[in-house]
Amino acid sequence: MMQSDSELASSKKHNMVKHEMAISEGKMNMMLDEENGSDHSTASHMRVEIPTVNPPHRNWIIGVAAIAVCAIGLGIAGVVVAHDRNDTSPTPPKPSPFAPSSTPDIDAIKKRGALRCGIPLRTQGFASQNANGDWEGIDIEHCKAIAAAILGEPNVEFVNTDLVNRWADLQNNKFDVLTRATVTMQREVWIPEVEGTFHFSNPYFFDGLRYGGIPSFVECAENEGEGCTGLKVCTLAGSSHAQIVTDLLFGKAESITFQFEDDFHQSFIDGQCNVIAGEMVELSEQTLREAGYEGDYTIGQELLSKEPITFASRTEDYVLKDIITWVFEQLHQSDEAGVGIENCENVLLQTELGANLKKSLRNAICAVGNYGEVYQRTLEAIVTRSGLNLANDGTTGLLYSHPFGSINIEGPQLNKVSKTVQKIRERGFLNCGINIRAGFASFDPETREYSGFDVDLCNLIASAIFDGVPRVLFTDLPARDRFQVLADQEIDVLVRLSTWTIVRDFMEPSIGVGFAWSPPPYFWDGFRFGGLQPYLDCALNGDTGATDPTCSNLRVCVLEGTTTFARTAQLIDSNNIITVQSFEDEIAGLNSGTCNVIAGGFHDIAVQTVQDGGFNSTIGTYEIGARAFSREPLSVATNEGDPIFSALIKWNIMALIYAEEQNITKANAQDMPHPRVFGPLFSSVNMFENGVSLLGNYGEAYDAAFESFIPRDGLNTLNDGSTGQFYSLLQV
């Protein structure tokens, strides 16, 4: 697909100076007039200017919009101006207005010399105390890893809480992180008990709700209570399971809740209930037998829910959130790479993060080992590692939706809890940063429409904010300027083929500011080499003349300021690398002989792409190397400090994946869930239906954008739950 982050500079230096844009039936249209050199606006009333931007050497296209409010409706019109910045004086980076002046949780942890972890459940394999009073389990090990990343030593204080009080305890600073929390849309947007929300990490364990108990009653429960009497189901109070069971068996079974897991198990042993509902580890027959149960017992086969288990932390300190996320990613990366406690010195230092954090991930692995090691000594004897909890080898799907939770809980008005949404609503349209690339973002002057996968995501986000109408102003950005423009708030969201990396999460080095990235990655790629033989083989082998003298003439063209450039520099001597500013420059380099190999994502270096870009086939046969040299998780970036806006983006993308899983298409978009958690604002309850009605499900949107251009396979396909979901964002 694209240059690893697809990082081209603005594909062409456009000469057009006028684009008149209007929203018509939910589409942003544009008319071109290359002959007229003046700016025009068809608006009859208020004009809204996009702020001027002044970084050096910038050449990009900005839409300058105006809003016209008429009695018969609302339209947007404007002009597009080509900016060519030739001022070479340095421009000091502007810090993001969302960047924190301090990190209160990190400071408190360092001051006390220990991380405080909240333990809501004492469950063997996750968190329990042995005969000596020592804490054991996968949650305990993860707490130690996070503590080691922050403090250099795995110093942890474990604080008891319960499922009913855990959110209030976290909000009231009784501990720094909460373990074993199922992430749902409802929880990530609004938790009524605390009238707020929290940061949730990427999942570290996948489970699901099942029934366990007396065989005949388990069968009865799986049939939703039909044809049987006396069904009594025990669940844990305050859990997502209690609400699910109530919804499934309302009026057909007696539902009994318990605050503590020991009471939950004992109630079944004592006969207060004949079925217990929970996750596999809670339903473990071994646990019940050890507690004294002697009767018949079975665990049902039907999976009643998805349970992606995460850690939660307070939203005030997103540096702690980032540390938790990347410690988990390092556990999985080390598992893939075969790096554990015994050889933990092989974990790369993150020098770009500075002195305080550069050893953090290495310290985590040295403290507890990799994910496989942790799982083996904590959970394997109870729940065999399988399915989603396996490592993904890069050949099977990673698209797996997370649960929406209690969608009927009504949250507060969206623009009251998200300053970004409020600003967008007041302005009247979403500012979305893209880059013109075939399949991802293109403009057709005949139909006067934008199209492509990134364009679709911009439209999806805008549709969620504007009652199903994709009111979007697109800004075409080169790689070198994109993050500064986002930090300066000249765009609201960056959907521009950008790779989610640890450095960009904590602090993008080009501007000294970190960003929020919305999981899941909406597209996975990896950079490859393409070019002319024998030089292509030279690049594939990393040979610049040491083995084959011919390879001393290897010249690789690669885009400046991209992850592709950084990784090419790790493989190829810098004397053999030529930096360019655009994809067109790469093709021109091949044609002129300036370079004989180019580097980029599959999309950028595909034979068809290169041919369409004007490659002169008379100079030789162009080929693509089979090997991918990196993993490139493309994600949507926003400024830190607005978790509700990030959640809005995340769950609308999740909804597209959910729709494909459930075979919901444009034709039956009305079957999508209608969440109330985003509040009474406008028609937010219809946002998922509107999104699928506009784009279709993920598969439909993919096919419309890429057709056969980028075959859909591997990581970009659905995971049906039978294969590994752990594939680290970190390079292996």
Q: Which of the 8 DSSP states describes residue 39?
A: -
Full domain range(s) for residue 427: 19-89+404-524+633-716
- Sequence length of the chain is 732
Looking at the structure, tell me whether residues 431 and 532 fall in a common domain.
no
Q: Is 617 exposed, middle or buried (0-12, 13-18, 19+ CB in 10 A)?
A: exposed
Within 369-442, residue ranges assigned H as helices are 371-378, 414-417, 419-427
Q: Looking at this protein, which amino acid is placed at residue 631?
A: R
CATH code of 317's domain = 3.40.190.10
What is the C-alpha end-to-end distance of the chain, expressed in Å?
20
Is 449 a residue whose pLDDT tops 50?
yes
DSSP notation for 539-603 = HHHT-SSSS-GGGGG--EEEETTSHHHHHHHHHS-GGGEEEESSHHHHHHHHHHTS-SEEEEEHH
Looking at the structure, tell me whether residues 517 and 428 fall in a common domain.
yes
Averaged pLDDT, 87-99: 39
Looking at the structure, tell me whether residues 612 and 658 fall in a common domain.
no
Output 236 or 37, whichever has higher pLDDT.
236
DSSP notation for 136-190 = ESHHHHHHHHHHHHHHSS--EEEEE--TTTHHHHHHTTS-SEEEEEE--HHHHH-
List, for residues 117-128, the tens digit of each pLDDT value.
999 999 999 999
Q: In this structure, is residue 727 part of a structural domain?
A: no
Q: Give the Cβ contact number of residue 36 at 10 Å.
A: 12
Averaged pLDDT, 232-252: 89
Q: In this structure, is residue 542 part of a structural domain?
A: yes
List, for residues 713-729, the tens digit of each pLDDT value.
899 999 999 999 999 99
Averaged pLDDT, 241-256: 88
Q: What is the pLDDT of residue 102?
A: 53
Please state the domain count of the chain: 4
The last residue of a domain, from among 357, 389, 421: 389
Q: What is the average pLDDT score of the chain?
A: 85
Q: Which helix (H) or strand (E) holds 502?
A: helix 502-506
Residue labelled with tokens 């439909």? 700
Measure the CA–CA gap between 276 and 232, rounded to whole angstroms.
Answer: 8
492: three-class secondary structure by DSSP: coil
Looking at the structure, tell me whether residues 45 and 164 fall in a common domain.
no
Looking at the structure, tell me whether residues 315 and 383 fall in a common domain.
yes
pLDDT band per the 50, 70, 90 thresholds, residue 684: confident
Phi-psi region of 152 (alpha: psi -120 to 50; beta: other; left: phi over 0): left
Evaluate the omega torsion of the peptide bond into residue 680 and state whether it is cis, within 30 degrees of 0: no
Closest-CA residue to 456 (of 505, 495, 514, 400): 495
Looking at the structure, tell me whether residues 226 and 316 fall in a common domain.
no
List, for residues 597-625, the tens digit of each pLDDT value.
999 987 788 888 898 889 999 999 999 88
pLDDT band per the 50, 70, 90 thresholds, residue 479: confident
Looking at the structure, tell me whether residues 433 and 519 fall in a common domain.
yes
Q: What is the pLDDT of residue 34?
A: 29
Enumerate long-range contacts of 443-447, CB under 8 Å, 24 or more apart. 443/30, 445/30, 445/32
Q: What is the pLDDT of residue 682?
A: 60
Edge-to-edge strand ranges of the sheet holding 210-213: 254-258, 232-236, 275-278, 210-213, 298-299
Q: Which helix (H) or strand (E) holds 21?
A: strand 19-24
Q: Which helix (H) or strand (E) holds 535?
A: helix 535-541
List, for residues 179-197, the tens digit of each pLDDT value.
999 999 999 999 999 999 9
Q: Is 667 exposed, middle or buried (0-12, 13-18, 19+ CB in 10 A)?
A: exposed
Q: In this structure, is residue 415 part of a structural domain?
A: yes
Measure the CA–CA gap between 689 and 668, rounded to whole angstroms.
Answer: 9
User: Is residue 277 a contact partner of residue 211, using CB atoms and an 8 Å limit?
Assistant: yes
Is 517 a residue whose pLDDT tops 50?
yes
Locate 258 and state its tokens: 């318990």
Is 46 a residue whose pLDDT tops 80?
no
Looking at the structure, tell me whether residues 198 and 120 fall in a common domain.
yes
- Indicate the range of 11-15, 87-91, 493-497, 714-718 predicted with least confidence: 11-15
The last residue of a domain, from among 576, 607, 630: 630
Evaluate the omega torsion of the peptide bond into residue 215 and state whether it is cis, within 30 degrees of 0: no
Backbone phi and psi for residue 552, each to the nearest 5 degrees, phi listed first: -65, -20
Q: What is the pLDDT of residue 681?
A: 67
Backbone phi and psi for residue 385, each to the nearest 5 degrees, phi listed first: -65, 120
Could you tell me what percentage of the chain is helix, strand and coil, using 3-state DSSP and rounding each to the nearest 5?
A: 35, 20, 45
Q: What is the pLDDT of residue 107?
A: 93
Is 90 a residue whose pLDDT tops 90?
no
The last residue of a domain, from among 362, 389, 416: 389
Looking at the structure, tell me whether residues 471 and 409 fall in a common domain.
yes
Q: In this structure, is residue 729 part of a structural domain?
A: no
Is 74 a residue whose pLDDT tops 70?
no
Cβ-based neighbours of 562, under 8 Å, separated by 6 or more? 3, 4, 5, 7, 479
Percent of the chain with pLDDT over 70: 86
pLDDT band per the 50, 70, 90 thresholds, residue 320: very high
Q: Give the Cβ contact number of residue 354 at 10 Å.
A: 10
Q: In this structure, is residue 8 part of a structural domain?
A: no
List, for residues 548-578, the tens digit of each pLDDT value.
999 999 999 999 888 889 889 999 999 999 9
Measure the CA–CA gap between 525 and 718, rounded to whole angstroms.
Answer: 16
Closest-CA residue to 583 (of 574, 595, 575, 571): 595
Q: Give the Cβ contact number of residue 75 at 10 Å.
A: 17
User: Is residue 563 a contact partner of residue 581, using CB atoms and an 8 Å limit?
Assistant: no
Measure the CA–CA gap between 15 and 59, rounded to whole angstroms.
Answer: 11
Helices (H) and strands (E) in the chain, counts: 24, 29
Measure the CA–CA gap between 338 and 732, rounded to whole angstroms.
Answer: 10
Q: In this structure, is residue 639 part of a structural domain?
A: yes
Q: In this structure, is residue 481 part of a structural domain?
A: yes
Q: In this structure, is residue 645 part of a structural domain?
A: yes
Cβ-based neighbours of 505, under 8 Å, separated by 6 or more? 322, 325, 326, 514, 515, 517
Nearest-10 crossing angle of helices 687-695, 643-661: 60
User: Is residue 526 a contact partner of residue 631, using CB atoms and an 8 Å limit?
Assistant: yes
Output 56 or 520, whichever has higher pLDDT.
520
pLDDT band per the 50, 70, 90 thresholds, residue 103: confident
Name the β-bridge partners of 527: 601
Instruction: Give CA separation, 123 vs 281, 295, 397, in Å.
Output: 8, 22, 31
Looking at the structure, tell me whether residues 413 and 507 fall in a common domain.
yes
Instruction: Give CA separation, 299 vs 286, 382, 401, 579, in Å.
Output: 12, 14, 25, 60
Q: Looking at this protein, which amino acid is placed at residue 461?
A: I
Q: What is the pLDDT of residue 510?
A: 81
Is 234 a residue whose pLDDT tops 60?
yes
Looking at the structure, tell me whether residues 669 and 555 fall in a common domain.
no
Averaged pLDDT, 432-458: 93
Degrees to nearest 5, angle at CA 518 with 667 and 27? 45
Measure the CA–CA gap between 355 and 348, rounded to whole angstroms.
Answer: 14
Measure the CA–CA gap between 198 and 196, rounded to whole angstroms.
Answer: 7
Looking at the structure, tell me whether residues 428 and 503 fall in a common domain.
yes
pLDDT band per the 50, 70, 90 thresholds, residue 243: confident
Is 352 a residue whose pLDDT tops 90?
no
